[in-house]
Amino acid sequence: MMNGRIQPELPVSELPVITRILVKSIQTRVEKVGAKGGLVALSGGIDSSLVALLTQQALGDRMLALIMPEEGVTPEWDLRDALNLVEQHQIPHRVIAINDAVALFQSYMPDNDFPEAVRRLALANVKPRVRMILNYLYANLLGYIVVGTSNKTELLLGYGTKYGDLAADIYPIGDLYKTQVWQLAEYLGLPANIIKKKPSAGLWKGQTDEEELGHTYAEIDRVLFCLVDLELSVRETAQVLEIPEEAVQDLYQRVIRNEHKRRPPTITRISSMCLDKDWRYPVERY
Amino acid sequence: MAPNPLSRKLRLGLLQVETRLGDIAGNKERIKALMQQAHEQGVDLAVTPELATLGFGSGDIYLDKVDENLMALEEIREFAGDLGLWTIVGFVDRTPLGFFHNAAALIGDGKIQGKYYKVQLVNYRLFDEKRYFAPGHRLPVFSTPFGRIGILICEDVWFPEPARALTFRGAEILIVLSASPYTTTKVKTWQNFLQERVLDNLLPVAFANQAGIQDGVTYWGGSMVFSARGELLAMAPLLEEHLLVVDVDLEEARTLRRRDLRVREVRREILEELLRAYDEMTRENG
């Protein structure tokens, strides 16, 4: 029944309706909370470019794309791709370099007490958190919601910074694997250089996601799709995809370890109406 | 009007309401506006989706707004009476003992002619109906000036038995109220289920689905009607509020059944064997 070609592909005939659903979900939240529009942090990568286009389809000019390069780290082609996109689609935008803010936080780091790798990661996480602060600064000023750009692959692997790039009001593409994001981006006519370039979280110079994760997104998505959507065990996934069990186990452990990034903070239950356990209300209600 | 013995048309109006969860006043107005349009288009029987007064979506909001939803039903009943429109309305009913049901009311001549309670409650994946509702146990067929009508709610039609019982009771059409959330290929899945019920029972089937998005869950609309031959007579657009008016021939089933034996040659012994098999299954696994 199974074969090695399993992958999470969106049915091509449903790409139009999926697009409309994503667009409508952005409109619905903005309407429901009485916001004036939506803000997208645009890096020039594929996820944020796709979300920016969807947000524009949903809200027209009632949006802002914040482009927040870190000079010397953000590759110039990313900045160029972001600027080309907003110009081509006439998306309201603003460019703010985050270097000063990052340097300020860096100045608070203690000297030499921590191994280099730990320092590097802690500082790397400051960058998306600085961007988050700017997102909400502008969102508050404008009365906008923050439209998140995380996808299903990142959410499952925890490949994102808590209260950084993961901080948002909605995740319109949060149920799409990275390879499905590529598919939808192609369907919506995003520029080829945005689709084709190597994905990078841009946390340090020369970083690429696939190198850091140790697998290509195509490989990762096939494994996650088997584990999560097809509900196969680690062993079954390895058999079906004809790959070593250890590789699957490694990704599976990552998924488990990162549950905390997909949830609001856990509340210790004392009353019989604990707000994250007993109290069950959707956000979009009347 | 002289009756044509070879054709007996029922003009159905499927009210594909874009409900908002908990917005009972708004939902009621949307239902009434579509009823008005249906009346103007000469509709005999108007049908809302499942839980049209309250909106669908898991959450304790069901517990809070039952009174308000019952008052909305009263107002819709009066309005249907003023229009002289027979109408089936999805709502939450409450018994004197305080049980809640996912229900449908058949309104005719300004009176509630009967009620149906969903028999197959859904409790997997995002669904949590058993937290709120008690299941119904009866499958009545209702007489109307237009013919004998069987009502089912959403999941009920994913099982062959409820439709079968209504068929044995002489239903001439099955009316399905639904609030089906979108996932890829879901539209086709539903078409298959509806068509299977048609082919099992040689009956026309009408499906009224909600439209709209709530907390990232999309009710896909696409209300549709199949003839007793299994042809798709009409389908409403996806995702949008819409009134679908369709003429359905209630005589076609009788014509088909002259030579097609799938209803009249059902054998009691086999039904009894089915029950024995069911008892064995539940004893061994229950």
User: CB B58 to CB A280 under 8 A?
Assistant: yes
- Indicate the class that CATH gives domain B9-285: alpha beta
**CATH number attached to the domain at A12-206:** 3.40.50.620
pLDDT in tens, A141-200: 999 999 999 999 999 999 999 999 999 999 999 999 999 999 999 999 999 999 999 888
The dihedral region occupied by B208, where left means phi > 0, alpha psi between -120 and 50, and beta the remainder, is beta
**Average predicted confidence (pLDDT) for chain B:** 95
Q: What is the DSSP letter of B279?
A: H
Which of B53, B213, B217, B239 to mutate: most A Cβ within 10 Å?
Answer: B213
* Secondary structure element (H or E) that encloses residue B259, with its range: helix B252-259
Catalytic (active site) residue B115: no
Distance (Å, rounded) from C-alpha B53 to C-alpha B45?
18
Average pLDDT over residues A85-97: 98
pLDDT in tens, B80-129: 999 999 999 999 999 999 999 999 999 999 999 999 999 999 998 888 99
Q: Look at residue A74 and tell me whether its pLDDT is greater than 80.
A: yes
* Band of residue B5 on the pLDDT scale cut at 50, 70, 90: low
DSSP string, chain A: ---TT---PPPGGGHHHHHHHHHHHHHHHHHHTT-SEEEEE--SSHHHHHHHHHHHHHHTTSEEEEE---TTTS-HHHHHHHHHHHHHTT--EEE---HHHHHHHHHTSPSSSS-HHHHHHHHHHHHHHHHHHHHHHHHHHHTEEEB----HHHHHHT-S-TTTTT--SB-TTTTS-HHHHHHHHHHTT--HHHHHSPP---SSTT--HHHHHTS-HHHHHHHHIIIIIS---HHHHHHHHT--HHHHHHHHHHHHHTGGGGSPPPPPP-SSS-TTTT----SS--
Closest CA to B241 of B16, B37, B32: B16
Closest CA to B173 of B204, B146, B218: B204
Domain boundaries of chain A, sorted by first residue: 12-206
Q: What is the predicted pLDDT for the residue at A1? A: 37
Average pLDDT over residues B188-212: 96
Average pLDDT over residues B8-24: 95
Q: Look at residue B54 and tell me whether its pLDDT is greater than 80.
A: yes
Average pLDDT over residues B136-144: 98
User: CB B21 to CB A285 under 8 A?
Assistant: yes
Q: What is the predicted pLDDT for the residue at A166? A: 97
Q: What is the predicted pLDDT for the residue at A207? A: 84
Weakest-pLDDT range from A190-204, B210-224, B272-286: A190-204
A17 part of contact set with chain B, CB < 8 Å: yes
Domain boundaries of chain B, sorted by first residue: 9-285
| pLDDT > 90 fraction of chain A, expressed in percent and rounded | 84
Q: What is the predicted pLDDT for the residue at A111? A: 78
User: CB A11 to CB B184 under 8 A?
Assistant: yes
Which sign does the torsion angle of CA B58, A157, A178, A197 carry?
A: positive
User: CB A282 to CB B58 under 8 A?
Assistant: yes
Distance (Å, rounded) from C-alpha A248 to C-alpha B121?
36
User: CB B21 to CB A170 under 8 A?
Assistant: no
Q: What is the predicted pLDDT for the residue at B4? A: 61
* Band of residue A18 on the pLDDT scale cut at 50, 70, 90: very high
Q: What is the predicted pLDDT for the residue at A2? A: 44
Name every chain A residue with its beta carbon within 8 A of the beta carbon of B20. 284, 286
Average pLDDT over residues B137-157: 97
Catalytic (active site) residue B118: yes
Distance (Å, rounded) from C-alpha A25 to C-alpha A38?
12
Q: What is the predicted pLDDT for the residue at B62? A: 83
**Average predicted confidence (pLDDT) for chain A:** 94
Task: Please name the residues in contact with B31: beta carbons below 8 A apart, sequence gap of 6 or more.
Answer: B15, B17, B48, B52, B53, B76, B89
Q: What is the predicted pLDDT for the residue at A205? A: 83
Alpha-carbon Rg for chain A, nearest whole angstrom, is 20
Q: What is the predicted pLDDT for the residue at A285? A: 83
Distance (Å, rounded) from C-alpha A26 to C-alpha A14?
19
Per annotation, catalytic residue among B28, B65, B115, B118 = B118
Average pLDDT over residues A14-35: 97
The torsion of the CA quartet B217, B222, B225, B231, rounded to 10 degrees, works out to: -120
Q: Look at residue B236 and tell me whether its pLDDT is greater than 80.
A: yes
- Report the residue count for chain A: 286
Average pLDDT over residues B231-241: 97
Distance (Å, rounded) from C-alpha B262 to C-alpha B256?
10
Helix (H, G, I), strand (E, B) or coil at B198: helix
B210 part of contact set with chain A, CB < 8 Å: no
Q: What is the predicted pLDDT for the residue at B204? A: 97
Q: What is the predicted pLDDT for the residue at B286? A: 75
The torsion of the CA quartet A57, A58, A63, A69, rounded to 10 degrees, works out to: -60
Between chain A and chain B, the number of residue pairs with CB atoms below 8 A apart is 62
Per annotation, catalytic residue among B18, B28, B50, B129 = B50
Q: Look at residue B23 and tell me whether its pLDDT is greater than 60.
A: yes
Q: What is the predicted pLDDT for the residue at A204? A: 82
Helix (H, G, I), strand (E, B) or coil at B272: helix
Distance (Å, rounded) from C-alpha A243 to C-alpha B129?
40
Whether residue B115 contacts residue B140, with contact meaning beta carbons closer than 8 Å, is answered with: no
| pLDDT > 70 fraction of chain A, expressed in percent and rounded | 99
| pLDDT > 70 fraction of chain B, expressed in percent and rounded | 98
Q: Bridge-partner residues for B114, per DSSP?
A: B106
Distance (Å, rounded) from C-alpha B46 to C-alpha A208?
57
Average pLDDT over residues A64-80: 96
User: CB A281 to CB B60 under 8 A?
Assistant: yes
Which tokens go with B257?
A: 């059944």
Strands B224-226 and B205-209: antiparallel
Q: Look at residue A3 and tell me whether its pLDDT is greater than 70.
A: no
Alpha-carbon Rg for chain B, nearest whole angstrom, is 18
